[in-house]
Structure formats: C-alpha cells, structure tokens
C-alpha cells in the first residue's frame, strides 16, 4: 500500500549508494566452444553466393598387384564430390526510445543523461545484444540446421548446421534422438560410403540408464578420431561433464602411479586433447543451475535460448530397432554400443574435436556481421526498432575426424 507522504525525510534528503557504470550479469555465461574454434583459425568469411560448397574426396583410383604385361580393364570412377551449406540469418532486437536513452549522437537521452546517469542504457543494450547473439550461436552449434523428417524430430532449418548433425553416421540416433541420413545435402552410406560418418560412443547401460565415463571411454574417443586420420586437440563438455571427466582422470592418476596426466582443474589434458567446460554444452544437469529455455521452445527474456527459443538440455529418447542384414540385433551394428528399442537417458556429453576440420562462415557484409539497422516506428514520436544482425554458418568438413560420448552421469 502507498504511504502518505510517499517519501520520508531520509529518502527525500539523501542519494542512494550506487556504484556507477556497474551492472552485475546474472543471466549470461561463458561460451568457450566457438571462441576456441576462432582461436584455431577456422574463421572463413562468406563472400556471397547461393551456398557454401566444400569439395570432399571419398574414393580411390583402381589398383592391384599385377603380372608384367597383364591387361587390365581401365575405367574411370568418381572419387570426389561436394557438400553444400546455406548461410543462416540471425537477429536480436529491442525498442530504442530516444526520450529515455541516447545512441551516442547526442540528440536523445532526456532521462538517461547528465550527472544523474549511473549506467549508459544504450551501451548496456548493445552489450546485451552481442551476448544474446553469441549465446544463440553457441547453443545452436551443438544442435542441427535441418528440417524435421522421418528421422529428425525438430525443425531447425533456420539455424546453423551444428555438431548434432555433423557427428552422426546415419544409423545411430544422436544425443537428441535424431538420425541424420544426409550431411551438407549429401546422402550418408550411399555412393560415398562412410566418408561423412562419425559414430557416437554410448556410455550408458544396456537398459538405457546412465553409466560412467572412464579412462577406457576417453581412449575410445581418441582412438576413433585417430583411426580415421584425425588429430583431436579440443574437448568440449558441460561443466557437469567436466566434473565427471576430472574425477575419472584423478582416479586413474591415483591407481596407476606410472601414468602421467597433465591435470589442471580449469582445463584437462588427455593425450593432447585440451578439455574445456562450456556451461551451454549439452547436459541434463545444467538446467538446474542456469536459466535455460524449456525444451518446448517457449523462451522468455529471462531465459538463455538458442535460435529457435529452445536449449541444449538433453532429454530421454528411444532408439530404433536395429537390424543387420535383415536380422534384428540387440545393439547397433556400428559399434556405438547403443541398445535396440530402448529408452535412453542421454545425460552428459563429451566431444573430442579436430578444430581444423570446422568452418565458421560469417558474411563479409558489415550490415550483417553484427551490424545495426534502425527502423522508425510509424507515427511514434520517440521509439525506433533497433536490430543487430548476423549472417553466418558453422559446419564440419571431415566429420570422421571428430566424435563424442554421451549417456554418462555427472
């Protein structure tokens, strides 16, 4: 209930104690995955065109041991093709009221100005727009950019082509329960064979419950990448996955005295793979500690959300009925360890990645590279709409050089 008078003598005769130009961030978190990719030099500006085409070699020329003078049948077989990705558009926006704030031109900001201005509202909104854009990009980099289909449950055609679709083999469901039978518009397991395939490592139980990550799983990830000619140097997991990996490595260090592990608790190193904690990476636990958008995609302005208003929270999914040569099998024939027709608790995820095989493709057009567009509100005396825009994509040119494990508890 309002009091009468509204302000007492203390309020009316003293200023509040406020630290100038300080606003504490209680929403956004660090986003190391794309930062590490940019540091690795995979930033490749998109100069224009209908799409982003990448040539791939998938076959070999004919050859065999022969007798001198032997006649052989010489035929030409296709050995290379291409994968193609489309530029994706992002924007973040807010209404700019020049009665309240000034955009730096000095023509507005009747209220937020002068010695009474504790925080520059325009600067605060600009920084928040950048953080919003970075958050959407980081979260989308763990998801996919394909339309819904018989094997893909959600439509994300507007977002970047992230890890979920890149690291798949067209047979096993991903950590989000999707099976991507194509990548870069190229069909997997067809004429190009397994050239674009990456097989996940399932750490859970045969009944679908969560399991544990251990030294053997880490070695399996490293081995799968190296076996295809890859060189994994970057590991990404949620902070809860990081906790599980740290415990596994520390236990190994205690148990095997002659095995050395370079353990630093803000970053782990395993066989040359630097493992970092990303609070936005896929996780079942993270939603209990940071304000993530719900899986339904109905995000508000107090949620961390991706490009479709959803999040990277993992959920349970049911595996398909696996077959091998027409015969039902209990587990996937790919060696992933996923059981057939089982409800899987995806839980925590760990990626072993070769940064050089990725490409981040922002446009070179300034207006769509974190550029601003100001649109007047019709018939409004003070309010305009301000848009920050980005045209970009993220994809992988050699999925087989990368892999991930999921289904382990934090």
CB neighbours (10 Å) of residue 244?
A: 22
Q: Which two tokens stand for residue 157?
A: 């055609």
Provide mean pLDDT across the span 112-119. Answer: 89
- 190 has pLDDT over 80: yes
- 385 has pLDDT over 90: yes
Question: Can you give the pLDDT at residue 336?
Answer: 97
130-169 pLDDT, tens digit per residue, is 999 999 999 999 999 999 999 999 999 999 999 999 999 9
Question: Can you give the pLDDT at residue 365?
Answer: 96
Question: Can you give the pLDDT at residue 21?
Answer: 73
Report the alpha-carbon distance of residue 13 to residue 35 in Å, rounded.
Answer: 49
Phi-psi region of 3 (alpha: psi -120 to 50; beta: other; left: phi over 0): beta
Q: Predicted confidence band at 206 (pLDDT cuts at 50, 70, 90)?
A: very high
* Mean pLDDT lowest among 25-39, 154-168, 184-198, 349-363: 25-39
Question: Can you give the pLDDT at residue 298?
Answer: 66
Provide mean pLDDT across the span 342-371. Answer: 97
Report the alpha-carbon distance of residue 319 to residue 339 in Å, rounded.
Answer: 7
By the 8 A CB rule, do 38 and 360 touch? yes
Q: Predicted confidence band at 299 (pLDDT cuts at 50, 70, 90)?
A: low
Question: Can you give the pLDDT at residue 146?
Answer: 98
- 215 has pLDDT over 70: yes
Provide mean pLDDT across the span 205-209. Answer: 97
Q: Predicted confidence band at 4 (pLDDT cuts at 50, 70, 90)?
A: confident
- 203 has pLDDT over 90: yes
Q: Predicted confidence band at 109 (pLDDT cuts at 50, 70, 90)?
A: very high
């Amino acid at each position: 209930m309002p009091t009468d008078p509204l302000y007492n003598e203390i309020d009316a005769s003293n200023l509040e104690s406020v630290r100038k130009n300080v606003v504490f961030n209680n929403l956004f978190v660090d986003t190391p995955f794309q930062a590490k990719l940019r540091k690795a030099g995979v930033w490749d500006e998109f100069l224009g065109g209908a799409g982003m085409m990448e040539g791939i070699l998938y076959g070999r020329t004919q050859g065999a041991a022969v007798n001198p003078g032997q006649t052989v049948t010489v035929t030409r077989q296709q050995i290379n093709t291409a994968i193609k990705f489309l530029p994706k558009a992002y924007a973040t926006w807010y209404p700019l009221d020049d009665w309240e704030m000034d955009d730096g031109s000095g023509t507005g900001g009747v209220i937020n100005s002068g010695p009474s201005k504790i925080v520059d509202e325009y600067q605060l909104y600009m920084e928040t727009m950048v953080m919003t854009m970075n958050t959407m990009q980081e979260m989308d980099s763990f998801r996919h950019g394909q339309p819904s289909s018989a094997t893909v449950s959600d439509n994300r055609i507007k977002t970047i082509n992230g890890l979920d679709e890149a690291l798949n083999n067209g047979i096993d469901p991903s950590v989000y329960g999707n099976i991507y039978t194509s990548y870069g518009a190229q069909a997997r397991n067809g004429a190009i064979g397994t050239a674009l395939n990456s097989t996940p490592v399932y750490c859970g139980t045969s009944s679908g419950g969560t399991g544990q990550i251990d030294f053997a799983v880490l070695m399996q990830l490293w081995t799968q990448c190296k076996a295809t000619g890859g060189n994994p140097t970057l590991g990404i997991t949620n902070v809860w996955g990081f906790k599980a990996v740290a415990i596994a490595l520390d236990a190994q260090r205690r148990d095997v005295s002659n095995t050395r592990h370079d353990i630093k608790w803000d970053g782990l190193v395993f066989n040359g793979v630097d493992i970092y904690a990303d609070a936005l990476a896929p996780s079942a636990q993270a939603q209990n500690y940071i304000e993530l958008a719900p899986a339904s995609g109905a995000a508000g302005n107090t949620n961390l959300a991706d490009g479709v208003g959803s999040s990277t929270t993992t959920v349970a999914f049911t595996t398909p009925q696996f077959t091998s040569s027409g015969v039902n099998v209990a587990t996937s024939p790919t060696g992933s360890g996923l059981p057939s027709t089982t409800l899987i608790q995806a839980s925590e995820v760990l990626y072993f990645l070769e940064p050089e095989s990725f490409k981040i493709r922002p446009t070179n057009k300034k207006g769509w590279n974190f550029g601003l567009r100001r649109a007047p509100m019709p018939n409004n005396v003070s309010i305009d709409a301000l848009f920050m825009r980005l045209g970009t994509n993220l994809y992988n040119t050699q999925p087989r050089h990368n892999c991930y494990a999921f289904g382990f508890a934090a």
